[in-house]
Copies of this chain bind each other. A is one copy, B any other.
Amino acid sequence: MIKVGIVGGTGYTGVELLRLLVQHPQVKLMAITSRKEAGMPVADMYPSLRGRIDLAFSDPASAPLADCDLVFFATPHGVAMAQARELLGAGVRIIDLAADFRLKDTAEFERWYKMPHGCPDLLAEAVYGLPEVNREAIRNARLIGLPGCYPTSVQLGWLPVLEPAAVAAAGGELIDREMLIADCKSGVSGAGRKAEVHTLLAEASDNFKAYGVSGHRHAPEIAQGLAAIAGKPVKLQFTPHLVPMIRGIHSTLYARVTKAGRAIDFQALYEKRFENEPFVDVMPAGSTPETRSVRASNMVRIAVHRPQDSELLVVLVVEDNLVKGASGQGVQVMNLMFGLPEDTGLTQLPVLP
Binding site for B on A (CB under 8 A): 12, 15, 19, 22-23, 46-52, 179, 181, 183, 185, 187-189, 191, 193-197, 199-211, 213-215, 235, 237, 239, 241, 243-248, 250, 252, 254, 256, 281, 283, 286-297, 301, 303, 305, 307-312, 314, 316, 318, 322, 347-353
A236 to B241, alpha carbons, bound, how many Å?
22
A-B contact pairs, 19 of them (CB 8 A): A15-B353, A19-B350, A22-B349, A47-B287, A47-B301, A51-B281, A183-B254, A185-B185, A187-B202, A189-B353, A193-B200, A194-B197, A199-B201, A208-B243, A209-B291, A210-B316, A211-B288, A214-B308, A235-B309
Minimum Cβ distance to chain B for residue A111 (Å): 12
Besides A215-B308, A246-B353, 19 other A-B contacts (C-beta < 8 A): A47-B301, A48-B292, A48-B293, A179-B256, A183-B252, A183-B254, A188-B201, A201-B203, A206-B245, A206-B247, A206-B295, A208-B291, A209-B250, A213-B305, A214-B305, A237-B307, A239-B314, A295-B351, A296-B296
A207 to B314, alpha carbons, bound, how many Å?
20
Minimum Cβ distance to chain B for residue A266 (Å): 13
A22 to B281, alpha carbons, bound, how many Å?
18
A96 to B256, alpha carbons, bound, how many Å?
38
| B352–A314 CB distance below 8 A | no
Minimum Cβ distance to chain B for residue A127 (Å): 28
A283 / chain B contacts, CB cutoff of 8 Å: 47, 50
A310 to B236, alpha carbons, bound, how many Å?
8
A48 / chain B contacts, CB cutoff of 8 Å: 292-295, 297, 349-352
| B292–A207 CB distance below 8 A | yes
A187 / chain B contacts, CB cutoff of 8 Å: 202, 206, 208
A295 / chain B contacts, CB cutoff of 8 Å: 48, 206, 351
| A195–B193 CB distance below 8 A | no
A189 / chain B contacts, CB cutoff of 8 Å: 202, 353
| A202–B193 CB distance below 8 A | yes
| B243–A23 CB distance below 8 A | no
